Amino acid sequence: AAPMGLAQPHSAGVYGGGMPPAGEPPMGGYMGAAPGYAAGGKERKPSAMTPTQVAPPPQGMPPQQAAMVRRPSPPPARGAAMGKAVSQLADIDPDTVPANLKREGADWFVIFNPKIPRALNIEHVHTLDHTSVVCCVKFSNDGKYLATGCNRTTQVWSVATGAKECVLADETAAKNGDLYIRAVCFSPDGKYLVTGAEDKQIRIWDVAKRTIRHTLSGHDQDIYSLDFSPDGSTILSGSGDRTVRLWSLESGKEVCKFTIEDMGPKDAGVTSVAFSPNGKLVAAASLDKMIRIWDVATGNPLQRIDGHKDSVYAVAFSPDGQSLLSGSLDKTLRIWDLGRYGVAGRSSDMVTCRSTLVGHKDFVLSVAYSPDGAWIVSGSKDRGVQFWDPRTSQTQCMLQGHKNSVISVALSPSQPVFATGSGDCRARIWSYDSLPPI
C-alpha cells in the first residue's frame, strides 16, 4: 500500500486521468504531471490544485486524507528578505511593457526585467502536439533529439525539424486505465532511452531498434525521476516509495538502494533525482521538504538539506558541481552551496543556502541549469518559465507560452535551445540567444 498522506484525486477529470469531458475547458491545475495526478483510485502525491479548484473528497476517503485534498497553496512570499531575490515579472501587464523589453508571438510572449540589462533573445522554434499531458521532456546529449513522456507513450522528436521520429510504447503493459510516463532520460551516447512510469517499472529502450532491452522492477510506487551517470553505466531512479535506486545498464540489475530512514512527519516520497557532474554524488528531492545527498561509492547518506517550506519537486546540480538547485511547492527556487561536497570544497565547508529566488506565483515544478552554468530555468504551475542569473539571483525574463502548468523544462546540452512540457498537451522547443552587452 502507498504511504499515508498521499491524497488521491476525486476523479479522472483532475488531471492525470486524461482530458476533461468534451466541452469542459482544462482546469488551471497541474495535469497528470509529476506525481499525483493519475486516476484509478491509487493514493498519490497531493494534488497541486489552487484553493479555487478544490474538489470534494471521494466517497469513503479517510478524514485525514480528505483534509489533504483541501490543502491550500502556500501564502505568497512577502518582501525581499536577506538572501532573497524577488522578481515581479509575473505581475506585469504585457501591454504596458515597452517594445524593447518584450517579444511576442501568436500565442506566447516574453517579458524582460526592466531593472537589468537585457542579455537574451528568446524565440519559439517548434510546437509538438500530444494527445495527453506532457509530463517530462529531455534532450539527447548531442542535442539532435527531444524525448517527451505522456500517457502510455514516449515520443522522440527531431529538434531540427520538429518531426516525430518514433513512438515507444510497451505493448505488454496493462491496457486498462492511464499509464503516464513521468520520467525520460537518454544515455550519454544516445543509444538508450530510459523511461519511468506509473506502473512502478523502468524500461530501457534501444532507440534504434525501438525495443526494450531491460525492464527494471523493484520500486513499490510510481517512478517520478530518472538520471544517467555521467559515464553511462548506471541509471538513477526516484520513486514515491521513498527510495532512490541505482541500476546497471548492462545487466538490468539493482546495484544500490538509498533508503530514506530519517522519516519526518510528512511522507518522504522522492520527486526528483540527479547525479553530480563527476558522478560521485546523488541528490534527491522529497515531498517532506527535504533534499538528501548520498555518496555513490559507499551508499552512505551525507547530508539532509532543510530550508524549503513545502514539498521539493525538482533538483539539479550546477555544471561545475559546486551548487545544487531546487524548486518547491513553496513557489521558490533555492541555490545551495555544496560546501565540502562541492568539487573544490574543503572539509570544513558547510552546505548553505546561497540565495532564494522568489517570483513565481505558484508551485515550482521543474528546474534546470544551462550547460555553461550561466542561466537557471524554472517551470511553474503559474504557466510561466523564468530565466534567472545564478550569479546575481535576478530574473532575466519570463516566458508565457502554455495554457496550463509548465511541468517540465530541459535545456539542450549542445546548443542554445530549451524545451517545455505542459498540462496543455503540448511540448514546445524554444531558442535562447545571448545578446551582446549594450
Reference 272, options 230, 221, 227, 234; nearest CA is: 227
Query: Is the sign of the CA dihedral 191, 370, 258, 136 positive or negative?
Result: negative
CA neighbours closer than 13 Å in the CB half-sphere of residue 345: 18
User: What's the pTM?
Assistant: 0.82
CA neighbours closer than 13 Å in the CB half-sphere of residue 326: 35
User: Contacts from 81-85 at CB under 8 Å and sequence distance 24+?
Assistant: 81/356, 83/353, 83/354, 83/355, 83/356, 84/355, 84/356, 84/357, 84/358, 85/355, 85/356, 85/357, 85/358, 85/359, 85/388, 85/392, 85/393, 85/394, 85/395
Tens-place pLDDT, residues 266-323: 688 999 999 999 999 999 999 999 999 999 999 999 999 999 999 999 999 999 999 9
Neighbour count for residue 106 (Cβ, 10 Å): 6
The pLDDT value recorded for residue 50 is 31
The pLDDT value recorded for residue 175 is 85
Reference 261, options 282, 283, 242; nearest CA is: 242
290's CB contacts (< 8 A; 6+ apart) are 264, 268, 304, 305, 306, 312
82's CB contacts (< 8 A; 6+ apart) are none
Query: Is the sign of the CA dihedral 97, 100, 105, 106 positive or negative?
Result: positive
Residue by residue, pLDDT tens for the chain (438 residues) are: 333 232 222 222 222 333 333 333 333 333 333 443 333 333 344 333 232 232 333 334 343 333 322 233 333 333 333 356 667 888 888 888 899 899 999 999 999 999 999 999 999 999 999 999 999 999 999 999 999 999 999 999 999 999 999 999 999 988 888 999 999 999 999 999 999 999 999 999 999 999 999 999 999 999 999 999 999 999 999 999 999 999 999 999 999 999 887 665 568 899 999 999 999 999 999 999 999 999 999 999 999 999 999 999 999 999 999 999 999 999 999 999 999 999 888 888 889 999 999 999 999 999 999 999 999 999 999 999 999 999 999 999 999 999 999 999 999 999 999 999 999 999 999 999 999 876
Tens-place pLDDT, residues 114-169: 999 999 999 999 999 999 999 999 999 999 999 999 999 999 999 999 999 999 99
CA distance 302 to 293: 6
Q: Which segments of 1-82 does DSSP mark as H helices, in order?
A: 63-69
